[in-house]
Amino acid sequence: MHNNPLWHQLHEKAKQPQVRDLRALWQQADRHQLLTYECENLYLDLSKNWIDSSAIGLLCELATHAKLKPAIEALFEGQVVNTTDQLPATHTQLRDPDNRAYSKNLDRLFALADQVTGGHIKTAFGEPVKQLVNIGIGGSYLGPRLVVEAITELQSESLIPVYFAASVDDALINQLFQSIDIRHCLFCISSKSFSTVETLMNARAVEQKLKQLPGYQPTEHNSSLMAITANTPKARAAGIPSSMILPFEETIGGRFSLWSAIGFPIVLAAGKEQFLALLKGAHQMDCHYREQPFASNIPVLMALMTVWYRNFIGLDAYGCLPYDARLRSLPKWLQQLMMESAGKMHNIDGEVITYPTTPWVFGDHGQLSQHAFFQAFHQGVDALPLDFIGVLEKDSDSQNFLLFNLIAQGAALMSGKEEDHSMKGCPGNKPSTTLLMKDISAQTVGQLLAMYEHMVYSLSVIWNINCFDQPGVELGKAIARDIAEHVANNTLNDMALDPSTLSLIKKVMEH
């Protein structure tokens, strides 16, 4: 990649002082018009970034050279894009009404949802289901939770409240059991492989607690447990009735899976119509991504901005700051989507790469962040790209206050404030992106999440990496399993561990 002349040209472009000087960049009269974009219910403003039209042109050429357009077609045509596992990635098929996978997925989801909400499915206590607990981690947790939090204002009173259990933590499980109506609760074990250690440990903890309660009598027809998985035989072997297993395909990546059966909690919490609207919004973004030229393609532009800052400007962090409490889980979802997908050191041919890939992603509710870490944005010596995300739907004093704060932060970071001989001065010239959502309907949320998915896929193509595998996730978990096994067998000293790690394990066991 470094041998590419475009790579060299972009490095030279990034060295130009004026490209990092927002005051100089704003001397161009039509800058705002040139750097604002719309797609359906999303409005993107890139004008406060360290970028100009010529740099965007070079970046679009880089994307073309990386064969991003054929790669986009390969994704939508169901060709192999997960080169590690030699599989396609079919999450976009689940939101395309013209694809057979769309109706197949919805038929299974909605049939079980109707059984639950209609009172036809009973728990192992013989009671109708009135609550759902989703037991899952990573992609089986972050996406569904984000969407449920974002759109359940739209739900009717008759739908099913959803709780989430992700971390292996006795305190959290005990707290959960104090918060729910156990006899009327359905526990949903969400795991693609049905071998995720944390999820299975939580599932066992829940089952043990259920067995201690009077009247617990699971049968093929009455069950407090269900499963969502791509490994149906394992779920069946664990005692989950076949009628209570929702399958999905191996070609659906975990962090791209909320559109699949993994989205079952969304259907129960918000209803079938809202889930359909979510898919519709995502499909609208799919069409935009597939059809628009790079220079007006919002997911591609978002990816190119990330490449620009990461590889040419040299910034290693990225902030996601939604100014709406309903989107409070968006930064965590994006953190996993980007860092697990693009945190790679090998290209698709298995060669070690010499350029940085994913930035460190962090963020929180924007209003809360202002009173936590914005001080470092305004007066810290570093800069980093920030996504300010606002929702326009409500005309209320509080919502307008949120939006005015969002707008003011971007303006303050750019313009700063001069104070002679004072510690109150802010230098300004800090970049940011503003993304405004017309509303927070299920359809708009679908557009937003699909935009970020396609942004990450575009990054992976340009960086020549596979965004659909995560080999690094398993290393620490494998060592943890080895430690637990050696502790149980009293053979800890046989492990080849450094003195610090060995001492820490012994400290835990002594305690």
Catalytic residues: 340, 371, 477
φ, ψ (nearest 5 deg) of residue 61: -65, -40
Question: Which residue type sits at 478?
Answer: A
Contact between 56 and 304 under an 8 Å Cβ cutoff? The reply is yes
What are 430's two structure tokens? 């800090």
Residue 15, CB half-sphere, CA atoms under 13 Å: how many?
6
Whats the size of the chain, residue-wise? 511
Share of the chain residues as helix, strand and coil, in percent rounded to the nearest 5: 55, 10, 35
Neighbours of 133 (CB within 10 A): 24
Work out the angle between the directed axes of helices 53-65 and 298-307 (0-180°, nearest 10).
100
CA distances in angstroms from 230 to 111, 192, 251, listed in the order given: 18, 5, 9
CA distance to 309, 333, 347, 451, 455, per residue, from 357 (Å): 11, 18, 10, 19, 13
| Residues 460, 291 contacting (CB under 8 angstroms) | no
In the chain, the amino acid numbered 71 is: A
How is residue 244 written in tokens? 């209570």
DSSP string, 163-183: EEE-S--HHHHHHHHHHS-GG
Query: Strands 36-39 and 42-45: what pairing?
Result: antiparallel
Q: Quote the CA–CA distance of 232 and 108 in Å, as a whole number.
A: 14
Cβ–Cβ under 8 Å, residues 388 and 406: yes
By DSSP bridging, strand 245-247 and strand 225-229 are parallel
Helix (H) or strand (E) holding 318: strand 317-322
Radius of gyration, CA atoms only, the chain: 24
| Strands 185-190 and 225-229, bridge-based pairing | parallel
The 3-state secondary structure of 191-237 reads: CCCCCCHHHHHHHHHHHHHHHCCCCCCCCCCECCEEEEECCHHHHHH
